[in-house]
Chains A and B, each alone.
Chain A
Amino acid sequence: MSGTYLGMPAFPEAAAKSTQDTQLRGNLRHATHTIRAKRAVAVAELEDWPQLRAAGAAVKDRTLRHLDHYLEQLETAVTAAGGVVHWAADAAEANRIVTDLVRATGETEVVKVKSMATQEIGLNEALAEAGIHAYETDLAELIVQLGDDLPSHILVPAIHKNRSEIRDIFTERMGDWGRAAPAGLSDEPADLADAARLHLREKFLRAKVAISGANFMVAETGTLVVLESEGNGRMCLTLPETLISVVGIEKTIPTWQDLEIYLQTLPRSSTAERMNPYTSTWTGTTEGDGPQTFHLVLLDNGRTDTLADTVGRQALRCIRCSACLNVCPVYERAGGHAYGSAYPGPIGAILTPQLRGTASALDASLPYASTLCGACYEVCPVAIDIPEVLVHLRERVVEGGAVTLRGTRAVIKPARGHAAERAAMRAARWTLDHPAALRAGQRLAARTRRLHPARLPGPGRAWSATRELPAVPAESFRDWWQRTRGEGKST
């Protein structure tokens, strides 16, 4: 993914630091609890939520099981409507395609509507290297960009900043990028939004090229769909002459009618509204209205590898609503940056290690960034069983095994640092396969219970440093059963 995130520490180290930040924890707690409560109300309005959820999952499953068919259909439809379709196998290729397309226009600046896919591939950095300036136009993304920061939430990327921090960023940095913030800017959200309006409007009015992602692509019609609130999306999608959309191949849905499901579930799951203020759909180009040149870049970048994993495949159903972030006890305390990718929270913990593989310490640690409490699965509008995939990925990290990497089947080694866990698993497997040894071990443990240390020695120390060791009973269950219910005893 993005070069920005390279060298990020593994989740435990990053979280150990971020959980000490009381400001961050306060911001996050307020945000996640507020959205969580509102979402529950918005969802409760629809009595058929379970059916919508099941249909949303089924449409995505149908698409994923026949993704080649739907992508070819999409390509045909977009092309027929006047668009140009490009295919990008990885981040480098996508960045190269977009850079070349912008260069061909002769422009050196572009406006961008918030897009997870372009963040994932580090497009802004790649464009900067080519001398092209990409302006983020979503208010939160603007805050992040002006502050040389990283997004920390899928829906509200600057949620880790409070109003006075935002005021300071605007006051100090807006002038470097264009129209400066008004003198004496207050930290009232309305004033801050107004400063952003003035700062960005001059960019919108002169922009010739825009870059977007998309929430959905409809295969049968070739229609792209963007949901947003501020109108910056509409500005980018309609004012410039050239529009370049970079979209993950998993954003495809088969039919126009299928969209009716997600237009009901996505806004309620993400912003807890009946509907987001603006939704734009476009099919190729329209003469006289909007960009007259439209390019669609279809992005793989690890998605086909994820597709090859029959357990992990369901992560590709994700519609990026961020409901799972807002209910996750781990996200609430650790914050989004600790996950080290464009995709934080529970969905990031399963998506990132599948898109990037588990070779780095960070990626290998992500399947452990969870308590497996299951709240993320409960709220997911497309019913992704995140805990199931987390456990599946933990096994992959510990045991290694067959995976698909960049389209090629490979056998990966267990990740480093899990030797003790692996040894314990092996020992447990052997013991459970040998009843006599298990019985002997349990008896020994029971008889020596007064001698057990309160803290484990050796590799177990880290585990017991933050947990009470369970007390060993005086008698094992087997011995108790034998004594009270065994042969010769009346029942």
Chain B
Amino acid sequence: MSHLDPVSPPSGASSRELILGRIRRALADVPRDELPGSVPLDRDYLRVHGTRTPEQTADLLAVHLADYRALVHRCPSGGLPALIATLLAERGARSAVVPDGLPDGWLSAVSGVELVADTLALTARELDAVDSVVTGCAVAVAETGTIVLDGSAGQGRRRITLVPDHHICVVLAPAQVVDSIPEAMERLDPARPLTWISGPSATSDIELDRVEGVHGPRTLEVILVDE
């Protein structure tokens, strides 16, 4: 333990030593030869709750997404471009932001919608004027009805799925669908900035009445593509 001077007021780097010193004194009861790994930890919780076929897992994802009021659509992979075009048209979207690396062809049927590239020059204010956003995802979790975006190809920067009021997110089943949180954790890289989304933005702060959409997109549409 480093030298502690009780007289001088703590500041900056010295507080680091002060706090670490306090912790070491506070833990005088912990045997000196105890290593972090020697503190018992049973991971006897389940990795998955229940057994499902990949098809049932995709069904459960759809049910749980809808439970929290995401709009869920399903289609075979060939139907994706038409469905995206339909959803944008039904919404009346005049513009949609598109991340780098969105697969060619997803937007091939879209017409009459200005496609805005997600570039560094795109400011939050400009983004606020865009109606919709279309992205893929990294993984989706059936048990909780959650989709996770990690900023890799086809997902873009975090702000593009936040500021526009309408988010269309494409999930490829079964490739991107897992059953549980533990399975999702394994697939994700913590070095990337991650956004976990379970239904649209919501609040229950006023008399516990659930209201969709305070700050994030008020409409979340998930397209589950059965491959």
Q: Which A residues, 228 to 245, have Cβ-Cβ distances below 8 Å to chain B?
A: 229-232, 234-235, 237-239
Q: Which A residues, 105 to 128, have Cβ-Cβ distances below 8 Å to chain B?
A: none
A1 at the interface (CB under 8 A from B): no
* Cα distance, A271 to B210, chains bound together (Å): 11
Instruction: Count A interface residues, CB 8 Å.
Output: 101
- Asked if residues B26 and A305 are in contact (CB atoms below 8 Å), the reply is yes
List 15 interface pairs A-B (beta carbons < 8 Å), by A numbering. A35-B208, A51-B44, A51-B45, A58-B40, A61-B39, A93-B11, A200-B215, A229-B204, A231-B215, A231-B216, A232-B214, A278-B195, A281-B196, A286-B193, A404-B25
* Cα distance, A121 to B60, chains bound together (Å): 44
Selected contact of A68 from candidates B27, B151, B196, B204, CB within 8 Å:
B27
B118 CB to nearest A CB, Å: 10
Q: Which A residues, 317 to 349, have Cβ-Cβ distances below 8 Å to chain B?
A: none
What 1/0 mask marks residues of chain A from 240 to 263 whose CB sits below 8 Å from any chain B CB?
A: 000000000100001011011101
- Asked if residues B39 and A62 are in contact (CB atoms below 8 Å), the reply is yes
A215 at the interface (CB under 8 A from B): no
What 1/0 mask marks residues of chain B from 39 to 68 whose CB sits below 8 Å from any chain A CB?
A: 111111110010000000000000010011
Which residues of the other chain, A, contact B18 by a CB distance below 8 angstroms?
A: 87, 89, 407
Ranked nearest first, the 6 interchain pairs of A and B with the lowest CB-CB distance are A231-B216, A231-B215, A308-B26, A304-B22, A279-B196, A62-B39
A78 at the interface (CB under 8 A from B): no
* Cα distance, A93 to B11, chains bound together (Å): 7
- Asked if residues A289 and B158 are in contact (CB atoms below 8 Å), the reply is yes
Q: Which of B125, B145, B209, B217 has the most CB of A within 10 A?
A: B209
Of the 9-residue stretches A191-199, A393-401, A476-484, which lies at the interface with chain B? A191-199
B residues at A contact (CB < 8 Å): 6, 10-13, 15-16, 18-27, 29-30, 34-36, 39-46, 49, 64, 67-68, 120, 124-125, 128, 141, 143-146, 151, 157-159, 162, 181-182, 185, 190-209, 211, 213-217
Residue of A nearest to B34 (CB): A65
- Asked if residues A55 and B43 are in contact (CB atoms below 8 Å), the reply is yes
Of the 9-residue stretches A155-163, A177-185, A371-379, A442-450, which lies at the interface with chain B? A155-163
Q: Which A residues, 65 to 85, have Cβ-Cβ distances below 8 Å to chain B?
A: 65-72, 81
A40 at the interface (CB under 8 A from B): no
A362 at the interface (CB under 8 A from B): no
A residues at B contact (CB < 8 Å): 27, 30-31, 34-35, 45-48, 51-52, 54-55, 58-59, 61-62, 65-72, 81, 86-90, 93, 137-140, 143, 156-159, 162-163, 166, 189-190, 192-193, 196-197, 200-201, 204-205, 218, 221, 223, 229-232, 234-235, 237-239, 249, 254, 256-257, 259-261, 263-264, 271, 273-283, 286, 288-290, 298, 300, 304-305, 307-308, 310, 404, 407-408
- Asked if residues B203 and A221 are in contact (CB atoms below 8 Å), the reply is no
Number of A-B pairs, beta carbon distance below 8 Å: 261
* Cα distance, A73 to B47, chains bound together (Å): 27
Selected contact of A256 from candidates B15, B46, B190, B203, CB within 8 Å:
B190
Which residues of the other chain, B, contact A55 by a CB distance below 8 angstroms?
A: 41-45
| Additional pairs, 4, CB under 8 Å, beyond known A68-B27, A234-B215, A278-B198 | A65-B36, A288-B120, A289-B159, A305-B22
Which residues of the other chain, B, contact A286 by a CB distance below 8 angstroms?
A: 151, 192-193
Residue of A nearest to B151 (CB): A289
Selected contact of A189 from candidates B29, B64, B207, CB within 8 Å:
B207
Selected contact of A277 from candidates B13, B46, B202, CB within 8 Å:
B202
Also in contact, A300 and B198, with CB within 8 A (given A139-B214, A283-B190)? no
Residue of B nearest to A406 (CB): B22
Also in contact, A275 and B144, with CB within 8 A (given A189-B211, A218-B190)? yes
* Cα distance, A95 to B192, chains bound together (Å): 30
- Asked if residues B23 and A67 are in contact (CB atoms below 8 Å), the reply is yes
* Cα distance, A273 to B124, chains bound together (Å): 30
Which residues of the other chain, B, contact A65 by a CB distance below 8 angstroms?
A: 27, 30, 34, 36, 39
Selected contact of A48 from candidates B11, B24, B45, B191, CB within 8 Å:
B45
* Cα distance, A89 to B19, chains bound together (Å): 6
* Cα distance, A237 to B196, chains bound together (Å): 14
Which residues of the other chain, A, contact B158 by a CB distance below 8 angstroms?
A: 234, 237-238, 280, 289-290
